[in-house]
Amino acid sequence: MTKTSSAMTPSAKAPTARERLLAAANELFYAEGVQTVGIDRIIEHAGVAKASLYNTFGGKEQLIRAYLDSRHVRLTERLLRAVEAAEDPRDRLLAVFDAQVELFAQQTYHGCAFVAASAEAKHGSAIEEASDTSRAWIRALFTDLAREAGVPDPEALARQLHLLYDGGGVSARMDRDPSAGAVAREAAGVLIDAALSKRP
C-alpha cells in the first residue's frame, strides 16, 4: 500500500538519502558556512555514503544549490503564512517584519543564508542565481503589499522596506542581538506611514 521508496514523495517512513543529505546540509551549511563545511562532514552527519551524494546531486555545488532552494521554499511559506494572517494592508506589510522578529528569536538563527553563501561566491555561480531568485521574490512581495496599501510609489516603499529587512538580518547576526527585528519593525512602521501620508 504505502510506497516508501519512490523517492518522489517524502513519505512518512524512513527518510531517503536525499532527504538526510539535505537535512545535514541545512544544519551544517547554515551553521558554519558553505565554504568551510566539507562534504565529508556532510555525509558523516547524514549517515550516507559519499557515492550517494554524487549520484543524487552530482556535486557540492548542486547540493548547495538544493540547500538554498529549500531555504527559499521555507522562507516563502513562512512569510506568506504571516502575511495572510493579517488583514489591514499596513499590518500585512508589517507582518513580514513580525516573521523576522519570530525568526531572530530562535537561537539557531545565523543570518540570511543567501547573504552568507554569496559572501564568497564567484560571479555567475549557482549561489548567485539562487540569491537573485529569492531576493526578487521578497522584493515582489513587498511591492505587491505596498501597492495593496495604496501608496503612491509602491516600488520605492518596497525598496526601502527591503533595505530594512536586509539590515535587520545582518544586524541580528553580526551583533548577536535578536532585538534588531523589533527595531526594523518600528522603522518600517515609520516608513510606511510616511509613504501613506503622501496619498490622500
Partner DNA sequence: AGGACCGACCAGACCGGTCTGTTCGGTCAC
Partner DNA sequence: GTGACCGAACAGACCGGTCTGGTCGGTCCT
Q: CA–CA distance from 22 to each of 6, 19, 42, 49 (Å)?
A: 17, 5, 9, 14
Cβ 11 to DNA shortest distance, Å: 11
CA triple 72-75-80, angle to 5 deg: 125
Write the interaction track for DNA spanning residues 28-57; mark x where CB under 7 A is met and - where it is not.
---------xxxxx-----xxxxxx-xxx-
Q: Is 160 in the site for its own copies (CB under 8 A)?
A: yes
Select from 56, 111, 126, 129 the one that contacts its own copies (CB under 8 A).
111
Q: How many residues bind DNA (CB under 7 A)?
A: 24
DSSP-derived secondary structure for 25-56 = HHHHHHHH-TTTS-HHHHHHHHT--HHHHHHH
143 binds, among its own copies, DNA, none (CB under 5 to 8 A by kind): none
Of the pair 86, 182, the CB lying nearest its own copies is at 182
Q: Of the candidates 4, 36, 55, 133, which one interacts with its own copies according to CB under 8 A?
A: 36
Among 9, 32, 47, 84, binds its own copies (CB under 8 A): 32
3-state SS, residue 62: helix
Would you state the cell numbers that stand for residue 127, as one nine-digit string? 549561489
**H or E element in which residue 116 lies:** helix 113-117
Rg of the chain over Cα atoms, rounded to whole angstroms, equals 19
| Cβ 160 to its own copies shortest distance, Å | 4
Among 104, 116, 73, smallest CA distance to 168 is for 104
- Complex with DNA: residue 5 or 108, whichever CB lies closer: 5
Comparing CB distances to its own copies, the nearer of 51 and 174 is 174
How many Å apart are CA 200 and CA 183, to the nearest integer? 28
Question: Which residues of this chain interact with its own copies, rule CB under 8 A?
Answer: 32-36, 111, 114-120, 122, 131-132, 135, 156, 159-160, 162-171, 173-175, 180, 183-184, 186-187, 190-191, 194
